[in-house]
Amino acid sequence: MNEAIYIKSYAKINLYLNILGKLGDGYHAIETLFQTIDLFDEIHIHRMKGSALQIHCDDPNVPTGKNSSVYRAIQMLMENEKFKKKISGLEVLIRKKIPIASGLGGGSSNIAAILIGIRKLFRLPIQLSELMGIATRVGMDIPFFIIRGTVFAKGRGEILFPMISLHPPVQLLLINPGISISTEWAYKAYDRELERNVFSQKAPSLRFDNLVARGDPLRLAQISGLVYNCFEAMIEKQYPVIGKIKEKLKNMGSLAASLSGSGSTMYGIFGTRRELDKAYQELKGQYPFVVKTKTISARKIFFHSMDEMVI
């Protein structure tokens, strides 16, 4: 049996995000189109003797203690009655490339990747649906990171409808102005704005049941037409730099530009790699985080050895 495993923990963007209303349990009903992108953290899981759990991250701003979401998720799996005799102690190392609190889902992706890694490392006889059930107890978007690719989600974000992955891959430019935005804060602020009825932008009228039932992938023109994020106007009002980034992306030729999640990362969709490269060269020195990437199905997430990890 392997003593260690090495995993790519991919980021996401929301090609579409709309809040339908607030639920009685404090969560919100949403519709969103998740898309995995080719940007990832690197995770190393190592078996240890005993039953201890140690989590380390090269970014000190990432919570890894006993009250953290990642610790609680791992502990749920380790203490599950069906599996706890199969799982030994663990040391987990997280190397961050995805900005924190950026709308790219880095924390949720890390949890999903670690749960998948533990399942593989210890050969646990657990179905992905059961693993997703554990994940949902920690965060509603974590199940998406277990499936990955192009996925429509509704409910609280945990009801998933996998779609044909985008092909060919869509060229993206990510820009983060160095602002961390709490998802909890964003939803509360959205609720306050909604009560005041100050929203003027309406979500595109889309039939996602038709999109989900498609037997072929979405095309670039279709994607550009559905891009929407209900948080964007509110976040731009609080942080005007968001609007300025969007304007720059549009001026540089992006077919569409939007906020991912609750921000603060903006993404621009480009029709060609040449246009993407030109925008990147123009904007790369203007913000702390400017990255070229693309959409990806992310079916393969395991490194063969630690030598393949970028240290």
Cα–Cα distance, 123 to 171 (Å, whole number): 36
Report helix, strand or coil for 260. Answer: coil
Give backbone dihedrals phi and psi of 184, rounded to 5 degrees, phi first.
Answer: -60, -45
| Percent of the residues in the chain that have a pLDDT greater than 90, as a whole number | 74
Taking residues 6-22, what's their average pLDDT? 95
* CA-closest candidate to residue 288, choices 259, 308, 264: 264
Q: Give DSSP secondary structure letters for 106-126.
A: HHHHHHHHHHHHHHHHTT---
The tens digit of pLDDT for each residue in 247-295 reads 999 999 999 999 999 999 999 999 999 999 999 999 999 999 999 999 9
Cβ count near 63 (within 10 Å): 15
Please list the residue range(s) of the chain that carry CATH number 3.30.230.10: 4-164
Distances (CA, A) of 141 to 88, 93, 203, 236, 273: 27, 22, 21, 24, 30
Query: Which region, left, alpha or beta, applies to residue 101 given φ > 0 means left and ψ of -120 to 50 means alpha?
Result: left
**Token duo for residue 220:** 């670039």
* CA-closest candidate to residue 162, choices 146, 175, 149, 181: 149
Distances (CA, A) of 15 to 30, 76, 128, 131: 13, 31, 25, 26
Report helix, strand or coil for 224. Answer: helix
Q: What is the pLDDT of residue 260?
A: 98
For the chain, the straight-line distance linking the first and the last C-alpha, in angstroms and rounded, comes to 25
Q: Please indicate whether residue 12 is annotated as part of the active site.
A: yes
Amino acid present at 155: G
pTM of this structure: 0.92
The tens digit of pLDDT for each residue in 172-206 reads 999 999 999 999 999 998 888 887 766 556 677 66
Q: What is the pLDDT of residue 201?
A: 63
The tens digit of pLDDT for each residue in 46-63 reads 999 988 999 999 999 999
Please list the residue range(s) of the chain that carry CATH number 3.30.70.890: 171-294
Scanning the structure block, which residue is given the tokens 């490194």? 303
Among 12, 41, 246, 248, the active-site one is 12
pLDDT exceeds 80 at position 217: yes
Amino acid present at 16: Y
Predicted confidence band at 97 (pLDDT cuts at 50, 70, 90)?
very high
Decide which of 1.10.10.10, 3.40.50.720, 2.60.40.1080, 3.30.230.10 is the CATH code for 4-164: 3.30.230.10
Decide which of 3.40.50.1370, 3.40.50.2300, 3.30.70.890, 3.40.50.300 is the CATH code for 171-294: 3.30.70.890
Among 8, 41, 141, 248, the active-site one is 141
Q: What is the pLDDT of residue 211?
A: 73
HSE of 268 in the Cβ direction (CA atoms, 13 Å)?
31
The DSSP symbol for 127 reads -
